[in-house]
Amino acid sequence: MDFFISKEQMMLKNEIIDFAKNHLNDNKYIETFSMEMWKEISDLGLLGVTVSEQYGGLEESYLTAALMFEGLGYACKNNGFIFVINNHIWVGQNLIYLYGSEELKEKYLEKMVAGQKIGAIAITEAEAGSDAMSMATHAEDKGDHYVLNGTKMFISNGPIADIFIVFAVTSEGTFKRYTAFVVEKEFEGFQVCEDIKKMGLGACPTSEIVLDNCIVPKENVLGRFNMGANIMTAALEWERCYEFAPHVGVMQRIMEKCLEHVNNRKQFNRLIGENQSISHKIADMQMSIELSRLMLYKIAWLKDQGKSAFMESSIFKTYVSENYIKTCRDALQIFGAYGYTKDYEIERELRDALACSIYSGTNEMQKNTIYNMIRSRVV
């Protein structure tokens, strides 16, 4: 296993850091999506980081992508906006790139890479959250098209997306089978509901979507018919790695902010960093960052080798989310009453972090996955 980081890779990471610091930290957009910022990140080329040059991408490795998204999390304070980018790339555009027919790639990829079209994924339903396989949305074959009916809930990017990867039941025999469809917001019978107000990640609009006799052309089946479960599994693997890569950078940023504070703040005539109860919190932060980073690079290396990283991504997602939340809570404690105020932004960091133990599959579900995969290797 080789995680060697080249000068070129570090240069790209540093370019992202410099760009984000200068272009993606306008506080007026901290709680709302900015099309202006979207255009800036699109023009930079980041959206096509691993997509081939044929479709306008940068054709970089997955390890390079991991470094760049870690850098993005470090430099961009707008966690919700980063969430929009990740949803667009890894579970929207990326699925078309990996599983789409040439016709679908030609139709959608260049526009998505250029940021002209925004992507989203629609799996979750009101009564089928962690139990995705119990979804009720279904599709009927009508000859030259399919008709989809159902409702999807908590769809990140929903109010701003143009292209949705929608999963629906297509066979209800002994075992349910599912198919993935590429659905445009303009398709007849497709409705996007209002933005759902959330505790954090305000710059990532989230909504319910309704499919009411939604007409989808036959050519918009993604991958093979009745094989949507495989694509769904792959989507979750990508999501659990790359949507959590920026959190490693965020933890680094918060730790550095805490370090600066404890080396300047005095109580009882001594720097508060001299107290073990404080210094140990920062040591814990650094341990979390180092171990998270190693796991991230391992998963990226596996993907560059064309290997599965399903269990590894579940471990990474669980470990990062729990320690990301802990880092924010410890930062709040270190800053005390100041941390609870809006000015220091620690309270916002904590609000943004809390959802990460829920999205992409709850941590409890991740531990079930990890246990079952270990058990299957032993039994």
Residue 221, both tokens: 């089946």
The one catalytic residue in 239, 243, 345, 349 is 239
CA 371, CA 356: separation in Å to the nearest integer?
Answer: 20
CA 22, CA 167: separation in Å to the nearest integer?
Answer: 38
**239 is known as an active-site residue:** yes
Sequence-ordered list of residues with C-beta below 8 angstroms from that of 297, at least 6 positions apart, any chain: 3, 63, 66
CB 356 within 8 A of CB 319: no
Partnered with residue 295 across adjacent β-strands are: none
Residues annotated as catalytic are 239
